[in-house]
Chain A
Amino acid sequence: MTTSYYEPQDLERFAEIGKDAPELARKFFDYYGAVFAEGELTGREKALIALAVAHAIQCPYCIDAYTTSCLEKGSNLGEMTEAVHVANAIRGGASLVHGIQMRKAAEKLSL
């Protein structure tokens, strides 16, 4: 079995998501473009955030796209790797802090 649910070429077809619901797609892509425009944060900083989020949500298309984008916006591999650690720390921390829920539930049930 060599096929996969994820095909790298599908990223280039992203715009096809506008078929059958063009108005919603237009709203999304306009918003997306506005989010990534230079603002208080630079385009380079936004690409690093996107790279970290892509790892948190584990989207291979976004990882691919924002790895290229980070490199083309002048981030180096040290910065990109640190961004992935930030995503990891938040993900890990978020799981761990929910451990308090577990402890509270266990306390309630326990003698």
Chain B
Amino acid sequence: MDQQSNRQPQAFPEPGIDDFGATLAKHGLTLTRASSRALQINVGLLCDLACRHCHLEAGPSRHEVMTRETMAEVIAYAGRARFEQIDITGGAPELVPHIEWLLTELAPLAPRVLFRTNLSALGRPESRALVEVLRQQRCVIVASFPSCNTGQAESQRGIDYMGKGVATLKMLNQLGFGVDGNNLELDLVVNPTGAFLPPAQCQTEQKFRQDLLRKHGIVFSHLYTFANVPLGRFRHWLESSGNLENYLKKLAGSFNPATVQGLMCRSLVSVSWDGYLFDCDFNLAIGQPLEGRKRHVAEMAGHPPIGIPIPTGDYCYACTAGSGFT
């Protein structure tokens, strides 16, 4: 049962916020697909954390995970329609059965394979075999790590997060991830811990490098800062805390037309845990399928056609604020 794909899109836009499509039109822009370079695979909504900014509302009580059968269909698709990059995300992909097999099969099919982790699930003793596969297949580990401040990190990701996150980063460094000269990439992703815009990427990278080295002896390859997307659990929090209108206004007020050309939805194909196709993980979160109709990965011969329109919502302002999302 594809509960994910049956979800109804939320009603957009919020009163007082310009429709995203209208904003694009005002700048003489349209949002259409370019050539597809990346395949993102969302292997499930099960997670050991229940982060307050999660646009997918993933958590320990979610049981939707990709079956081995759907994994086989995704692997076959990645073989038919080659991509430059394959990106595994969740939930916590670590908790999905057969994840090691999926990675092993996918690794030869793309030059670059990304594995997104919340660090907590990857640090469990049960994840040792998976870490070994990530190392052998030279996957890029992309780790969420919101703040070097324990209180703020834990307000986003839950109590006890900091110790686990730091321990996993140290373990990954010991295995060579993020350490110069090993060709094992460890990237950090920083989302603001609240209803404010992310700091400038290069300065944050410099600051995290100093702080993580000084406090914990941790090194990493690159750092990326992204705005929180007003969907799912984060949108509920924005509403209940009275921040929604101001946050949306702030995002919409920071609209930068120069980001539209490079938006990830133009070059990414996102597959849900049950095998359906979307333009990005955010359209996946609210069930707005690629080309406006539900299509399973098994039906796809190759890349989606260039030039097809991309469905949007007010959350798209998170991708176009300031210097953009990608």
Interface string of A38-76 (1 = CB under 8 A from B): 000011100000000000000000000000100111101
Contact partner, A76, options B147, B197, B198, B203, Cβ 8 Å: B147
Q: Are B207 and A72 in contact (CB under 8 A)?
A: no
Majority secondary structure, B binding face: loop
Q: Are B197 and A72 in contact (CB under 8 A)?
A: yes
* Residues of B in contact with A, size category: 10 to 19
Residue A17 interfacial (CB < 8 Å): no
Q: Are B200 and A73 in contact (CB under 8 A)?
A: yes
Chain A residue with the shortest CB-CB distance to B201: A74
* Residues of A in contact with B, size category: 10 to 19
Contact partner, B203, options A44, A77, A78, A79, Cβ 8 Å: A44
Known: A42-B203, A44-B207. A78 touches B149 (CB 8 A): yes
Interface string of B59-96 (1 = CB under 8 A from A): 00000000000000000000000000000000000000
Q: Are B149 and A74 in contact (CB under 8 A)?
A: no
Chain B residue with the shortest CB-CB distance to A80: B149
Q: Are A71 and B149 in contact (CB under 8 A)?
A: no
Q: Are A76 and B152 in contact (CB under 8 A)?
A: yes
Q: Are A74 and B196 in contact (CB under 8 A)?
A: no
Chain B nearest Cβ from A53, distance in angstroms:
21
Known: A77-B149, A77-B151, A78-B149. A72 touches B203 (CB 8 A): no
> Most chain-B CB neighbours within 10 Å: which of A73, A74, A77, A78?
A74
Chain A nearest Cβ from B192, distance in angstroms:
7
Closest 9 CB pairs of A and B: A74-B199, A76-B149, A74-B204, A71-B196, A78-B149, A72-B197, A72-B196, A73-B199, A76-B147
